[in-house]
A = this chain, B = another copy of it.
Amino acid sequence: MDAQILSERLSTDLGERKTTVLTCSCSIEYWGRSRSVIGCGDRIILFKPDSTVIVHSPRGFKPVNWMSSPTDTSADLEDGRTVVFSQRTVKPYEEMKITVDKVIEYTSLPGLRDEEKIDVTHTERDMRDYLEKHPREVHPDFRLKTVEHHITPGFIDLYGKIGDRYVVVELKAVKAGLPAVLQLKRYRDWLREKLRQPIHAILMAPGIAKNPHTLLKKEGMEFKKFNVHKLEIKKEKNTLEKWMN
C-alpha cells in the first residue's frame, strides 16, 4: 500500500474511531515518563476506538510501545512516508511517533461491540470473603473481629483474637514475598506498640519465598498455607449441598 493512501485511510479510520490493525515495518520513538527508540522491524499496531494505541513485536507478551487513552492520534505524510503521531492529552504527558516503512497488512473494522465485564475470581478479595465466613481455617480458635481493619500504617486484612491474644492476619492470593512479610511486620509492630502486649501475626498464602520465610520465623510470625483452589472446592461442595437439599 502506497504511503499516501495509507495516510489518508488511517486519517479517515482514526477519525471515525474504527478499530484498526496495521501490520507494517516501522521505527518508533517515545518521549514521556521515559524515552525509547527502536529501529525498523515488522510490528502489529492496534488502534482502538477509545484512542488507545498498542504496538506489538512478533515476540513476547508486552507491547514494544504503546499510548494509553486518552490520546490525540493522527497520521501524516512526511518525506514520502506515513508518520503516526500520538499525544496523550492528560497527565502524564507523553508522545509516540511511528514512522512506517512498508505496509504488510491493513484492516479497519467499524462498530466492534463488547459490553461484557470480565469476572475474575480466586483473588485476595475472594480469599478474605471466604475466611470471613470460615474463620476457623485461620486457626481453630480464631474469633474474627474486623475485616479490613484500618490502622495508621494501613489496612489489616483480618483482625481478631485467639484466646486473649490479638491476631493480625495478612492474606496473599499468590506466593508471598518480602513485601508481604514487611507489611505484616509493620502492622504487628504498630499494634504491639499501641496495645503494649504481644501480637500474634499470621501470613496466609499459597506459598512463601525462602528468604521472606526466614525473616518471618525470625520475627516470631507464622505462615499458614492457603491455596485459592480451595475456594473452588468449597464452592462446588456448597453447590452440591444445595442441590442435595
A interface residue numbers (CB < 8 A to B): 19, 21, 23, 27, 33-44, 46, 48-50, 52, 54, 56-61, 64-66, 68-69, 104-105, 107, 109, 112-123, 173-174, 179, 182, 228, 232
Contact = CB atoms under 8 A, between A and B. Distances in A.
Given A112-B104, A114-B42, A59 B50 contact: yes
Given A38-B119, A44-B19, A228-B34, A56 B54 contact: yes
Given A49-B59, A59-B48, A61-B54, A42 B121 contact: no
A5 B34 CA distance: 45
B23 A112 contact: yes
Given A48-B59, A61-B68, A61-B69, A173 B34 contact: yes
A152 to B, nearest CB: 10
A205 to B, nearest CB: 12
Nearest to A179: B179
Contacts of A49: 58-59
A179 to B, nearest CB: 7
Contact of A59 (B37, B44, B52, B232): B52
Nearest to A118: B38
Given A21-B23, A21-B44, A38-B118, 17 more contacts: A19-B23, A19-B58, A27-B116, A33-B174, A34-B123, A37-B118, A38-B117, A39-B116, A48-B59, A49-B59, A50-B58, A54-B56, A57-B114, A59-B69, A64-B118, A105-B107, A107-B107
